[in-house]
A and B are shown apart, each in its own frame.
Chain A
Amino acid sequence: MQELLGTLPGGLVTGAVYALLAMGLVFTYKATRIPNFAYGAMATFVAFFHYDLIEGRTMGLHQSLLVVRLDLEAHVQLGFWAAVPVSLTAAALLGLVIERVVIRPFTRARAPMVVNIIVTLGLALLLSALTQQIFGADQLIVPNDQAIFPRTPAFAVGGVNVSWERFGVMGLLAVLAAVTWWFFRATRTGLAIRASATDPEVASLLGVSSRRLAVVSWVSGSIVAGVAGIALASLVVSSDPNLLLLLTIKGFAAAIVGGMVSFPIAVGAALGLGLGEEWVRHYLVSLDPRLWQGAPEVLTLGAVIGVLALRPKWIFTGIREDEDTGVIGRGGVADSAVARAIDPVEAFRLTQAAFPPGLWAWRGWRFVRRAAVVVIVAATVLFPVLPLVDDFYTLPANLAIADAMVLLSFVVLVGWLGQVSLAQGAFVAVGGAGAAIGANTLGLPFPLPILCGVALAVPVAALVSLPALRLRGLHLAVATLAFGLAAERAIVPRFDASDRVVPPGWMDTDRARYWVFLSLAAIAVLVCWRISTTRIGRSFAAIRDSEVVAAAYGIRPVRVKLIGFMVSGAIAALGGTMLTYQLGAVGTQKASVFSSIASLADAVVAGIGSLAGPAIGALLFGLYPELTKGQVHAATLSFWPQITGSALLILMLAVNPGGLASMARFVRSRASAYDEPTSNDDLGDLMARSTGGTDMVEAERVDTEVST
């Protein structure tokens, strides 16, 4: 009992951290229906800003473009509390800028859930990279004298001392919860948000300005994120920029339990999750850290899957049917996210709607587009040739091909099947492990270990997708993030890093591997091409566009999705086997959730609906950064590729959801893009003519008499 009591402070504080995040997520979602995956990254940004401000550090500033802040920095040094208003003002500005620049085009275009998820994930990547670029890539270490509350013991529970700092964070949560409660009960804006959350259309008819609500909620959400970030950075002592991105997943787990709208349930779930993790840590992990590694993450996964599987009613109160399914409501046409992402003509219309018309009057766009096409085509042609010119290109090219497989797996899953799954990194690891088992444990000759890796991924994908098959949209994204995190922490570290795969002698040069990888990739692309042009690909598209309509025509959603998950998992695993043959082992980097998110971003920029997309993506994000790496000053760790990449992602989703790959198609189909949809006028004519058309069954001619 004494021992159990002693775990309470730690568990509740961890829970409070999750609760702070969950509350912010619910807040933004309630008001704007946007799941903010960038929430943790916003919190981190403000936290780094804050502690930078206190210390007057200039680390990394010479690389930054924020000249204004540089001046401020040089002359002013503030104490902790004096810096708080400045930091929170910065947080408010950050929220404002994000809403205006990033989010609004998507709200205006009524972008579907899948797009909102990818946009805020891209924003998370962008902010995380910016944080590292501006404030330095190091961990944030908060010294004792700068902690938000003193780190001296306040009192003891169950023989464990509770510091003022921990106690204070709990108090902060209570205060924020109370303020939130008051805000939603007693203020006009709070009531408007609740009204809008219940029924946005009725609310807007009654004069609630959804644009104002969006601004209010992003600004206040960002301030709450700032408070959370500052408190958490102090609490966890050292926080690297990606930590809060991962903590966001836990915040989402709690928020999802509350149906994305209920504060009490979300906070309760967060505290429960924190306590559960503390118990797992205390009673299991501390006994045998190696055996139980990743157990807290597995617990999160279990909680998410468990709650979503039980499907209590309140879970779906916040997520309207059309968002959950991407199907119901909003009229028949173009109600699917990825549908629009694939069709360049539709993408063009979306673009026109999202931006001021004057922007498109510029005649130069035509040349920009042409130039882009020329670059893309030239790059694609160059790809196979480069490694032949110089061995310097071969190793980067090999790694790029492996990357391309991950992108291809996203094309199948996200682009064709319309399911946002973020656990592809885990399948890369599975492929690597399978190859290692095949080559070392079973001692199989060369091509077979590759098959082993791919084959191992198929049942794993089936197993993983079983709970996922009933989930869609946001639920699926969060569940797969939780799975990816659990795999990253609990499974991947268990692979024996010394169990390296040694390629056969003839394949032990980069150039030989290049040809092998290129052939394997060609086979994968060929299989995908066959899928896309046959019954299987059509059933994918049907499920992506509307599960309800698909089922009405006898297409079984669960079966089709299962096939899609297995194909996609197998392709990602193929990439993993390539990495194994190139590097000896996959490594934890490529298997991480972070890497999965980054790959999805790359896949979207390159073209999520097209088989050319992965090739373009591999060139742009795999090969060229590797080639230019040597020329950048070696001492400075640059985050510019991630910054430009994620900014490009957001821009691409807003302007050209089909990605780079669709630009080439766009030029070809430009003429039809300007065609107005056929009007109703000729319909009667069509019907009249319809009798003259070829009959379905030639023998049955009876109908011609009936028609007149």
Chain B
Amino acid sequence: MSDSVLSLQAVGLAFGGVRALADVTFEVERGSITGIIGPNGAGKTTLFDCISGIRKPDSGRIVLRPTGGAPVDLVVRRPWERSSLGVARTFQNARLFSSVPIGDILRTVQHESMTHSGFWRSVLGTRGARADEAIVAERAEEALDLVGLGAHADKPPSELSTGMLRLAELAAVAVVRPKVLLLDEPASGIAQAETEALGPLLQRIGAHLDATIVVIEHDMPLVMGISDIVVAMASGGVVTSGPPDEVRRHPEVLRSYLGAPA
């Protein structure tokens, strides 16, 4: 735990009387892949919502330590500020902009990098704006090719299968070049045979971007196969964390998650 990029310190959140998150504390090491496992309702997605700013925790701190920058407490930042801090996430049900062809989606998500394309510059089509558009289009194309969807750039999400949507979403987060990548169940909705191909793809994307990946996943072989550290959650709290093999054998994990008595 020498070099932590993301540190969660006693994060808590309650919905009315339900404690969705209780005192969640763990560190995410820079450049690692951290898997989060846990039964439904364990608070995994809520935790992602807190990190990405969709929900505000009642207590605790979520500290991001960018390379060569001062630490930032994400709790006090607005949702859209994450992007420029290098944090990107995918959603459980592969949510993208539903009416836009995926090629355009991949250009849309690069919104922030287009520094020469303010309102008037875009409308007037200045040289800077045109250059921005060209770069963005090129990167979008590259990212689609990276996940193998290059031929489908003109199709809106409604014409893609769930699995292809997952890939498109991965391309969308990859194209913004984040330093911390939060993936919410990237394998859900894809067939078993294909999840086997997903692991290497995630590792490849992580290596490409030189990014840290935090991944929520129910598919045990996948998450155990790619993670350096696995965090097991249950009813809003952290049960245990450590290398996959250790977590796999942890009695409470076996009981509360895998369902088999130790």
Contact = CB atoms under 8 A, between A and B. Distances in A.
Interface of A: 331-336, 338-340, 342-343, 345-346, 349, 527, 530-531, 534-536, 538-539, 541-542, 544-546, 548-557, 563, 672, 675, 677-680, 683-684, 686-691, 693-697, 700, 702-703, 706-708
B174 interface: yes
A693 B150 contact: yes
Interface hub of B89, B141, B197 (most chain A Cβ within 10 A)? B197
Given A530-B122, A544-B99, A697 B84 contact: no
Contacts of B159: 345, 672, 675, 677-678
B22 interface: no
B242 interface: no
B204 to A, nearest CB: 4
Nearest to B204: A703
A703 B208 contact: yes
Interface of B: 52-54, 78-84, 88-89, 91, 93-100, 104, 107-109, 111-112, 114, 117, 119, 122-125, 129, 132-133, 136, 139, 141-143, 145-150, 152, 155-165, 167, 172, 174-176, 190-191, 193-194, 197-198, 200-201, 203-204, 207-208
B152 A678 contact: yes
Contact of A707 (B53, B96, B97, B200): B200
A552 B104 CA distance: 17
Contacts of B164: 678, 683, 686
Given A690-B201, A706-B203, A535 B111 contact: yes
Contacts of B161: 677-680, 683
| A-B pairs, 10 with minimum CB distance | A554-B83, A339-B99, A690-B148, A693-B145, A687-B197, A551-B79, A545-B97, A534-B122, A683-B163, A703-B204
17 contacts: A333-B98, A345-B158, A535-B122, A535-B132, A545-B98, A546-B95, A551-B79, A552-B54, A554-B80, A556-B78, A675-B159, A680-B161, A684-B191, A684-B193, A686-B149, A695-B142, A696-B143
A531 B91 CA distance: 28
A201 B143 CA distance: 39
Contact of B112 (A554, A695, A707): A554
A686 B191 CA distance: 13
Nearest to A702: B207
Nearest to A700: B208
B232 to A, nearest CB: 26
B123 to A, nearest CB: 5
A697 B111 CA distance: 20
Given A554-B111, A683-B161, A686-B167, A332 B204 contact: no
Interface hub of A331, A334, A677 (most chain B Cβ within 10 A)? A677
B125 A530 contact: yes
B131 to A, nearest CB: 12
Contacts of A553: 83, 88, 108-109, 111-112, 172, 176
A363 B116 CA distance: 51
Nearest to A688: B197
A349 B158 CA distance: 11
B146 A696 contact: yes
Given A343-B158, A678-B161, 19 more contacts: A332-B93, A332-B157, A346-B156, A346-B158, A541-B97, A541-B99, A541-B104, A545-B98, A549-B96, A552-B88, A554-B83, A554-B84, A554-B111, A686-B148, A691-B204, A695-B208, A703-B207, A707-B201, A707-B204
B148 to A, nearest CB: 3
Nearest to A531: B123
Contacts of A530: 122-125
A556 B82 CA distance: 11
B123 A548 contact: no
A706 B199 CA distance: 10
Nearest to A563: B119
Contacts of A539: 108, 111
Nearest to B175: A696
A534 B123 contact: yes
B116 to A, nearest CB: 10
Contacts of A343: 99, 156, 158
Contact of A336 (B89, B99, B174, B190): B99
B97 A542 contact: yes
Contacts of A688: 148, 197
Contact of A339 (B52, B98, B160, B197): B98
A555 B80 contact: yes
A661 to B, nearest CB: 15
Contacts of A693: 145-148, 150
A694 B129 contact: no
Contact of A332 (B54, B89, B98, B172): B98
A552 B197 contact: no
A548 B165 CA distance: 17
Contacts of A700: 207-208
A335 B93 CA distance: 12
A554 B190 contact: no
Contacts of A346: 99, 156, 158
Nearest to B129: A534
A29 to B, nearest CB: 24
B108 A556 contact: no
A569 to B, nearest CB: 14
Contacts of A557: 80
B95 A549 contact: yes
Contacts of A672: 159
Contacts of A527: 123
A554 B82 contact: yes
B206 to A, nearest CB: 9
Contacts of B172: 553
Nearest to B85: A554
Interface hub of A530, A544, A677, A690 (most chain B Cβ within 10 A)? A690
Nearest to B116: A535
A676 to B, nearest CB: 9
Interface hub of A536, A551, A555, A686 (most chain B Cβ within 10 A)? A686
A526 to B, nearest CB: 9
Contacts of B96: 332, 545, 549
A554 B197 CA distance: 30
Contacts of B208: 695-697, 700, 703
A683 B160 contact: no
Contact of B99 (A340, A549, A680, A689): A340
A339 B97 CA distance: 9
A677 B197 contact: no
A278 B1 CA distance: 69
A552 B191 contact: no
Nearest to A526: B123
Nearest to A337: B99
A338 B98 CA distance: 10
Nearest to A527: B123
Contacts of B97: 541-542, 545-546, 549-550
A551 B176 CA distance: 13
Given A554-B176, A693-B145, A538 B94 contact: no
Given A332-B93, A554-B111, A690 B133 contact: no
A696 B142 contact: yes
A675 B193 CA distance: 25
Contacts of A677: 158-161
Contacts of B107: 538
A706 B152 CA distance: 26
A128 to B, nearest CB: 32
B154 to A, nearest CB: 9
Contacts of A545: 96-100
B100 A538 contact: yes
Interface hub of B89, B99, B114 (most chain A Cβ within 10 A)? B99
A555 B201 CA distance: 27
B80 A556 contact: yes
Nearest to A528: B123
Contacts of A556: 78, 80
A342 B156 CA distance: 12
Nearest to A685: B148
A552 B117 contact: no
